[in-house]
Structure 1
C-alpha cells in the first residue's frame, strides 16, 4: 500500500493549471482556512493566501515573489508583513528588517504592527538602542493602540500598562509581576479576575481576593463568579453570583451553581426567581426545564404545562419530559399518551417528536416487525428530518431494509443520513454501507484517500479592521492578542463574537477552549434571531475546519506512516483524547495528546527499547500513542473498532466482551458495549475520523455534494 497521501494545493500558488502534490511528511498548517469561493467574507475584507501550510522554503519563495511586485498594492503590502513575521518566527531579524523597510507608509492600516515587528527584529538582533527608539516611537504615535502594550511591557512601564490597556495579554504578566512582589494586592487580584479569568492558576487568586475583604463592584463579583463556575467551584460561584450584577444570566447561573453543587432546595428557589423576574429572557424556559429535572414529579408536570403555555420554542422538550414522568414516575400511561400525542400534533418536526418516532421504531424492531420499524423511521425522516435522532434512525432503518432485502429503501435511508446530517457518525456508517471508500468499523486503519487543505483566508464575523487584517495574514498570535484586547473584560459575548473567539483560539493552538467555544453555540440560550444567526455561522467552512484542525501534523503524518495507520484516524483519536493539548493531564494521570498513562508509557518504552522519553513532549507522546494504537490493532486482527475500544477500555476488557458474546454485527457490538464511556468513545473517535474525511477529502466532498444537490425525501416526494 502506498502510504504517501497527496495534498493538493491551489494551482494558483504555482502559477500553473496543474495541482501540486506534497508528500505525507510535509509541513502543513493546522490553522488554514477555507477557499474564498466556499467561505463567506464578513465585512469588506479582501481575501489573502498566507501559504501557512507550505514548508518554510516554499512559503518564503512564494511570499517574496509577491512582495517584490513593482507596483504598490494591498497584496504586496500584506506579503511583506507576512514575510517579515515568518522571518522573525525563524530567528532571521536581518531579513525581517529588510522586508519591513518603509512599509508603515505603504500599509497604513497596520502601520503600528509594522513598527512592532521592527522593534522585535531589532531586539532579536541584539540592537537594544534601535529597539528602544522604535518602542518610544510606538508610545508617541500609537499610545492608545494595543501595540503600545508591548512597548510599555518591554520598557518596564507595567503600571501604565495596567491602567491604560488593562485587557491586553501583556497586562496579565504585569499583574503577576506585581503580585510576586506583594501577593495581597487586591487591585491586581481583581484585575486578573475581571480580564483574565481563564488563567489556569486563578482559583487560589480568587480565594485570596474574596478572603481579602476588598469591596468589589457587582461586575467584579460577576467576573469572580464566572471564573469559579468555569473551574467547577460551584459553592464558591454561588456565593459570588449572589453579589453579582443582577440579570437573567447571573440569576440562572446562580441556580446552576446551586444545582451542580447539590443544593437542590436553593437551586429550585433560584430557578423560580429566574422564571418570575426575567420571564421574557431565553434563560427563563431553560430554568423551568431545570426545575423539571429536580422537582417532585407532580410539581414537574405542572411546570411542563407552564412551559407549554408560555414558551412554544421549549414546549416540545417539556412535553416529552412530562410524558416520561407520567409514564415512569406517576403511573399514568393514558396521560402520558395524551402528552405524546399533543407533542406529535403541535410539534411534529421537533427533536422530541423525532425521539418518540424513534422509540416506536425500535419497539417494532425489537418485536421482529422490521417493516413497521422502517415505516416509523420514514415517518420520522419525513416529519422531523432535522431532529437530532434522525441520522441514527435512518441508518438503522437502512440496515433493517437491507435485512429484508429492500435495497431501494435501504439506499434512500442511508443517503438521507448523509445528505441531512453529514457531520454525524451515522452518516459515516451509511457511507460505508453504500460502498464509499471511507472504511468501516473493521478497516478504517487502512483508508488512504488524498485530501486537500484550503488556504485562502477571508474575514471573521467580529473584530476590528486591524484584527481582521492580522487574521487574514496568518499572523495568528498578533491577531489573538488584538482580539483579547478588544474583548477581555466583557461579561458576555454575542454568538458572532463566540464564533470568532473559538476560531482564533484554535489558530494559536488553544484547542481545548477554542473547540469548546465553537461547540457551545449549540447549547447557549439565545433568542430566535440569534439562533438563526448561529445556524448561518455553522454553515461556514471555517467553523468546521476549526473544529477539526491539524495540530502537530508533521509528527502525526510521520508516525502514522511508520505504523501504517490512517493519519485521519490518529487525528480523530487524538481529538477525542486531549483536544490536541500537549500538556493536559486527566484525573487518572493520563498525559498529553493521546492521553498515555505513565505505566503504559513505561511498558511501551520497554517494548521499543527506549530509555529516555517524555510523555509531555508532543513528539514522544505521538510516537508512543501511535505505537499503542498499532498494538491494539495487531492484538485484534487489525479490526479498527476493537482497536479503538481497546485504546479506551484496555485490551483485557475487549477480549472478554468478544469472548462472551462474539463479534457478530459490528454496529450491534458497539451498541452493546457495557461501558457507557467506551461506547460513546468509539462513536466519537470514528465521528472525528469521518469529519476529517468529509471536510478534506475531495472524493468524499464530491459524493456528499452530489447527494445534497438532489431533491426529494426518502418516500420519493419532493420537499
Structure 2
C-alpha cells in the first residue's frame, strides 16, 4: 500500500454501525472521512422508517424527558441519537447552559445534516451566551454565504443585524416573508409610523396578525395615492378575511379586475346594505366575465336584489349556463314562483332539481323540508321514506346523519325495532363524527353516556403519544414539527409558501395544524374545517383521504390546557370531555377572545357573572383572560347550571348559553320525556345549534381520546 503525497497512511479500520461490523483497508484520512460521513448518512436514511423513541417524549416537560434523552443519546439508533442531542442542546440553551449545549452539538451538523442550519444557529447562540460574539457572528456570516434555505439565511441576517442594523435592510428587502422581518418592521413602525412601504409588507405577508386592521385603515386613509392595484388587493383580502365587508368591497373596487375581485366588490357592498352599487357591480361582473364560474354565483346574488321578473331571468340564466349554481337557483326560482301563486311551475322547478341534481346539497335541503312537513303532520311513513332517500342520494350532505337518525327514531316509534337498529347502525358507521352518531349510539344501548349521565362520568383521556408526520412541507419542516420545534416550523412554512397564491388540500391542512402549534386555535380549526367547502372533485377526494387519518380529527378537536381542564373538572365533579367540548364551542381555545356582548376568555364568561362566581369561591384576584382563572370560574358555573336541572347536561349546557330563565320556561312548555324531541323544539336557533355542537364535540373527544370507546366503535362498525 502506497501513501500519497502529504497524506498519512492508516491501517486496518473497523466501524460498528447498527450492529454490523464493516472492515476495510483505507489509504488516507481524506478517504476515511467522506466514507464515514456517507455511511452515517445511509444509516440515518435507514433509521427514518424505524419507530422513534424521541418523538413520544415531546409532550413531556424538558425536566421530565431529560434522563430519557440522555440515555437515547448514548444508546439509541443513530437518527434518534441525533434527535436526542438536538433536544438536549435546546434544553441547555433554554436553561442558560451554553457549555452543555455546545457539548451536545459537537459535530452534530455532520451527523444530522437535515437540520444543519438549525444546529449551527444553536451553536452561534451558545457562543453568544458565553460572550464569544466573534465566533457567533462568524457562524451567522458563513450561513449567509453557504446556506440556500431562506428561513436559515434570514435568521442569520437578523442576528447579524443586532450588531449592525444595516443588515436589517437586507432582511427586509430579500426576505419579506420571514417572521424576523416582520419583527423588525413592527419595531421600525413603532419608532416612525410614516413608512407606507413597510406597512405594505406586513399587510401582504401577515394579513391576519393582531393590529393589521389599523394599518390597513392607515394606508387607505393616508396613503391612497401611493397604493397600486396589487396593494389594494392585499388590503381587500385582509378586510375580507376579518369580516369587514364594507371596507373589503371598496378596496376590491381598486384591485385588479379579475372575476373573483369584481364578485367580492359587489358582495362586500351587498352585505353592507349598499344595494344600488352592488347591483351595478354584479352587472359589470356579468358583462366583463360572462363565462367565469363565479359569475353564476353573482347571478344568484343579483336575483335576490331585483324585481321578481328580473330575478327569474337571472336565475334561468344561472340554471342554463352554470351547472354548479343550478341547484340553488332552482330552489330560489321555486320560491319566487310559489310567491307568485304559480304552484305548478314551482313544482316543476323542484322536480327538475330532484331529477337533474339529485345529489346536490340543495336537493338534500328540499328533501329535509319534506321530511319535516310529513313528520309534523304525523305521516311518519312518508317522513321515513324521504329521510332514507337523503341517506341514499345525499350521503355526503350535512343533513344525511340527521335524516338517518330520525328515520331510526320514527321506525322505533312504529315498533319496528330491527329496522330502527339497522338505521342507527348505518348512521353510526357512516357518519361517526356527527352529533347523530352519538345519539344513535345511545339508542343502540352503547355505554357512551346520555344527557342524564354524562356529568358523572370520568372517561380515561389518552392523547396521542407522538406527533404524526405532516402531509406537506419540506423534510426539514416535518422533522422539526415532530420534534416540537414550533417556532422553527412556522418560520420554515412562511418562507416555503411565500410565493404561492393558492394552497393544495394537504398544504391548507398543514398550515392549519401549524397555526394550532402557534396557539392560533380559531384560525387553525377554521382553516382545517373549511376544507369541506372545496368543491373541485380532485380536492374533495383528497379531503376525504385526509379524513381517514386520526391526525385530521385530532387537529379539528385539539386538547390544549389539558392540565387545567382535567384538574378543575375533577374538583367540580364534571366530565372533563364535556368541559373541553364547551370550551371549544365557546372560544375555539382563544384565551383573549371577547364576544360582542362582552363575554371573555376560554369559557366566555360575562364580567358580571365572573364577579358573582368569584365571590362564591372567594377568588379575589383573577383575570378572565387567564386560562387557569377562566376555567376555574367557568367550571363552577357549569356545575351550578347542572345543579339547577338535576344534573341533566343537556339542560345545563342550554342554560349556559341561553340563561337559566329561558330554559326553565322551555322545560315548563315542552315535555322532557323524549330528549331528542326536546332539543328539536328549543325555540332559539342559536341555543339549539349550540346544544348539538357541544355534544357533537363531546362525542368526538370521547371517540378520539378514550381507548375504550375507540374499541367499541371498531366492534360496532364491524357488525
Fold-level similarity (TM above 0.5): yes
Which residue does the alignment assign to 1:561? 570
8 Å Cα contact 1:50-1:472 kept in structure 2: no
The answer to whether residue 593 in structure 2 is matched with residue 584 in structure 1 is yes
- 1:11-50 aligned at under 5 Å gives the runs 49-50=55-56
Mean Cα displacement is larger for which, 485-494 or 241-250?
A: 485-494
Whole-Å separation in 1 of the counterparts to 2:325 and 2:85: 53
Partner of residue 406 from structure 1, selected from 398, 416, 436: 416
Whole-Å separation in 2 of the counterparts to 1:653 and 1:116: 59
Whole-Å separation in 2 of the counterparts to 1:474 and 1:574: 24
Mean Cα displacement is larger for which, 195-204 or 352-361?
A: 352-361
Partner of residue 212 from structure 2, selected from 179, 202, 209: 202
Partner of residue 138 from structure 1, selected from 125, 137, 143: 143
Mean Cα displacement is larger for which, 433-442 or 114-123?
A: 114-123
Which residue does the alignment assign to 1:10? none
The answer to whether residue 318 in structure 2 is matched with residue 312 in structure 1 is no
Whole-Å separation in 1 of the counterparts to 2:549 and 2:74: 33
8 Å Cα contact 1:604-1:624 kept in structure 2: yes
Which residue does the alignment assign to 1:185? 195
Which residue does the alignment assign to 2:556? 547
Residues 500, 286 of structure 1: alpha-carbon distance in 2 compared, 3 angstrom cutoff? farther
8 Å Cα contact 2:59-2:466 kept in structure 1: no
Over residues 282-316 of structure 1, what are the superposed CA-to-partner deviations in whole Å (9 max), with x where a residue is unaligned?
Answer: 43333333334444343333333323323333332
Residues 376, 206 of structure 1: alpha-carbon distance in 2 compared, 3 angstrom cutoff? closer
Which residue does the alignment assign to 1:689? 698
Which residue does the alignment assign to 2:302? 291
8 Å Cα contact 1:82-1:475 kept in structure 2: no
8 Å Cα contact 1:386-1:420 kept in structure 2: no
Report SS of the residue matched to 2:150: coil
Q: How far apart are 1:408 and its partner, in Å?
A: 1.0
Which residue does the alignment assign to 2:457? 447
- 1:197-236 aligned at under 5 Å gives the runs 197-210=207-220, 211-236=222-247
Mean Cα displacement is larger for which, 560-569 or 207-216?
A: 207-216
Whole-Å separation in 2 of the counterparts to 1:88 and 1:331: 77
Mean Cα displacement is larger for which, 105-114 or 441-450?
A: 441-450
Give the superposed CA RMSD.
2.6
Partner of residue 584 from structure 2, selected from 575, 581, 587: 575
The answer to whether residue 126 in structure 2 is matched with residue 116 in structure 1 is no
Over residues 646-691 of structure 1, what are the superposed CA-to-partner deviations in whole Å (9 max), with x where a residue is unaligned?
Answer: 1111222222322344533222222222222211111111111111
Residues 144, 433 of structure 1: alpha-carbon distance in 2 compared, 3 angstrom cutoff? closer
- 1:226-625 aligned at under 5 Å gives the runs 226-278=237-289, 281-327=292-338, 329-488=339-498, 490-524=500-534, 526-625=535-634
Report SS of the residue matched to 2:75: coil
The answer to whether residue 109 in structure 2 is matched with residue 100 in structure 1 is no
Whole-Å separation in 1 of the counterparts to 2:485 and 2:697: 27
Q: How far apart are 1:335 and its partner, in Å?
A: 1.3
8 Å Cα contact 2:58-2:483 kept in structure 1: no
Scaled by the length of structure 1, the TM-score of the pair is 0.86
Report SS of the residue matched to 1:580: coil
Mean Cα displacement is larger for which, 209-218 or 429-438?
A: 209-218
Whole-Å separation in 2 of the counterparts to 1:166 and 1:692: 40
Whole-Å separation in 1 of the counterparts to 2:130 and 2:453: 53
Mean Cα displacement is larger for which, 337-346 or 654-663?
A: 654-663
Which residue does the alignment assign to 1:61? 67
- 1:1-20 aligned at under 5 Å gives the runs none
Over residues 211-232 of structure 1, what are the superposed CA-to-partner deviations in whole Å (9 max), with x where a residue is unaligned?
Answer: 2244333222211111122233
Residues 381, 158 of structure 1: alpha-carbon distance in 2 compared, 3 angstrom cutoff? same
Mean Cα displacement is larger for which, 177-186 or 600-609?
A: 177-186
Whole-Å separation in 1 of the counterparts to 2:242 and 2:76: 55
Residues 380, 233 of structure 1: alpha-carbon distance in 2 compared, 3 angstrom cutoff? closer
8 Å Cα contact 2:670-2:678 kept in structure 1: no
Residues 249, 701 of structure 1: alpha-carbon distance in 2 compared, 3 angstrom cutoff? farther
Mean Cα displacement is larger for which, 201-210 or 310-319?
A: 310-319
Whole-Å separation in 2 of the counterparts to 1:321 and 1:87: 65
Q: How far apart are 1:123 and its partner, in Å?
A: 5.2
Report SS of the residue matched to 2:57: coil
Q: How far apart are 1:86 and its partner, in Å?
A: 4.5
Whole-Å separation in 2 of the counterparts to 1:50 and 1:91: 25
Report SS of the residue matched to 2:591: coil
Residues 505, 123 of structure 1: alpha-carbon distance in 2 compared, 3 angstrom cutoff? farther
Which residue does the alignment assign to 2:19? none
8 Å Cα contact 2:270-2:278 kept in structure 1: yes
Scaled by the length of structure 2, the TM-score of the pair is 0.86
Residues 164, 50 of structure 1: alpha-carbon distance in 2 compared, 3 angstrom cutoff? farther
Structure 1: which 5+ runs fail to align?
A: 1-43, 711-719
Whole-Å separation in 1 of the counterparts to 2:713 and 2:305: 43
